[in-house]
Chains A and B, each alone.
Chain A
Amino acid sequence: MGKGALKFGGKSGILPVPRQIFKKPYKHQVYQKEQDTGYAEGILHPKGITRDFVPPKVFTPESRLLKSAAQPKKQFSPEEFSKLPTAQQYRIKNAELRRAYLKESYDAEVKRLERVEYAKQKSEEEKAQMKLEADNHDKSKAELYTIPTIESYLSGPLIKPRTPEQKEALQLKKEANRLQQELDVKTNKAIKLLELYNASAAFAITESKLELMVDAAFSESKLIDANNITNSSVEKLHRLPSTSEFDSALKDAIVGNVNKGPGFDVVNDTLNGYNGELHSLAEQLKIEKREKAKLETSLKEANMRKLHEEMMNERKAASVQDN
């Protein structure tokens, strides 16, 4: 990159960025530490950093002037001044002018800064005022009186909340459902376990039993049964005599047996005592029936005896008459 105008894309006439005259604050300000900033007690801070906020030093325009454009130590009276050489007179006048201009420029800068500060403060106030107005913004009468009722639904909850009673009922329902599901699962598990237990009676657990089962499966009678079924027509099939297996399966279905053993319902009824009650009731009925039969028999015997006696008496009477 070249120098001069080339630096600015070949354009001349661009003013440099204005520099700040007061790089440090020109008047005292009240600094307030922001909340939740800095280092907490007991927390170490890095080297080279102050723990507390140090406000920047204030350089007032007067102190600046004293430092950079102080009044000359020697003040010449007009007579003394007129006697000085012209070059010195010119230098003194020049220095005086420079001091005056510097003071003017400082004053102008202070005024500018005050103006900027005032504008900033005013815009902040305006913003705050706008915010206040926005917060207090109400709907116009036209809006207020023409909005539909349905908008009122938006102010509250959309769904009607459940009452404590409804919540309790729902909780109970959920609990009941959960318990019922658990019970169903457990019941199914028990049914399957019982089926397996009953089926295990037919398992070949020893070698000898396996041989017996193999022999039974390929026995002569089995083969005959199989042949009968395969050779017979559909019409004849239903006329075939039922096998013992079919009979036992039918019996199991009626009684509620599974795999030739008691089913879940039977076991459940027995454990509940229902079957016991049924059994005792049956026993009681049986005894009552037997008692009744006994009584009837004794009555019948008494009647027979009576009839027999009557007949005997009649015969006796008849024989007496004949004689």
Chain B
Amino acid sequence: MSLVNLANTCAHLQNCTMAKLPLAKIPYTRLHLQIAVELYKEGFIGSIQRGSISGPDLTPVDVTHDNISTRRIWLGLKYNQNSNPVLKNLHLISKPSRKVYCTIDELKNFAIGKRLRFIKPPQPGEVIFVRTKKNEILNLHEAIKKNLDAELLCRVS
């Protein structure tokens, strides 16, 4: 299963947390790094490290065209005291076959708890990530603060 697709990465992270793994590796791409940073900011993961397929780097290694194929991002997964995973659900909203683009007004209505087309409103404790036209990954509320139209990318809880 190629983890280059975000949907597969989402499923992979869920599988890793269900298997109670301490670390999970995902491909080293801009999109994956953006998602990882957002997950870290929201507190769903404990750490982000650069590394290779064999493990996180002990000393910093430059990413070059020659070693890019072996580069990976290593995420530290979080569990609470009862060893339940902090990151339980990570699902795509916008799929390659059904993209969901929203205007700022639609985003505002969605953020206050209204149903948007076929998408259920955000639940308590759930975070929605959106992608702007500049290919930035933001939290739904950040996008509203910045007054940007966006594509609803995935929801995490």
A150 touches B65 (CB 8 A): no
The number of inter-chain residue pairs (CB within 8 angstroms) is 40
Which of A5-13, A36-44, A129-137, A246-254 lies at the binding interface? A129-137
Task: Name the A residues within 8 Å of B148 (CB-CB).
Answer: 134
Complex CA–CA separation, A153 to B145 (angstroms): 24
A160 touches B33 (CB 8 A): no
Instruction: Count residues of chain B with CB under 8 A from any CB of chain A.
Output: 20
B37 touches A160 (CB 8 A): no
B63 touches A137 (CB 8 A): no
Question: Is B50's CB within 8 Å of the partner chain A?
Answer: yes
A131 touches B34 (CB 8 A): no
Question: Is A162's CB within 8 Å of the partner chain B?
Answer: yes
Question: Is A165's CB within 8 Å of the partner chain B?
Answer: no
Given that A154-B34, A158-B28 are contacting pairs, would A148 and B64 also be in contact in the complex, using a CB cutoff of 8 Å? no
Complex CA–CA separation, A130 to B145 (angstroms): 9
Chain B nearest CB, measured from A57 CB (Å): 36
Task: Name the B residues within 8 Å of A162 (CB-CB).
Answer: 64-65
Question: Is A49's CB within 8 Å of the partner chain B?
Answer: no
Annotate B113-157 by CB proximity to A: 1 below 8 A, 0 otherwise.
000000000000000000000000000000001111000000000
Chain B interface residues (CB < 8 Å from chain A): 28-30, 33-34, 36-37, 40-41, 48, 50, 62-65, 68, 145-148
A-B contact pairs, 30 of them (CB 8 A): A130-B147, A131-B147, A133-B147, A134-B147, A137-B145, A137-B146, A143-B41, A147-B37, A148-B37, A148-B40, A148-B48, A150-B33, A150-B37, A150-B48, A150-B50, A151-B37, A153-B33, A154-B30, A154-B34, A154-B37, A158-B29, A158-B33, A159-B63, A159-B64, A159-B65, A159-B68, A160-B62, A160-B63, A162-B64, A162-B65
Chain A interface residues (CB < 8 Å from chain B): 130-131, 133-134, 137, 143, 147-148, 150-151, 153-154, 158-160, 162
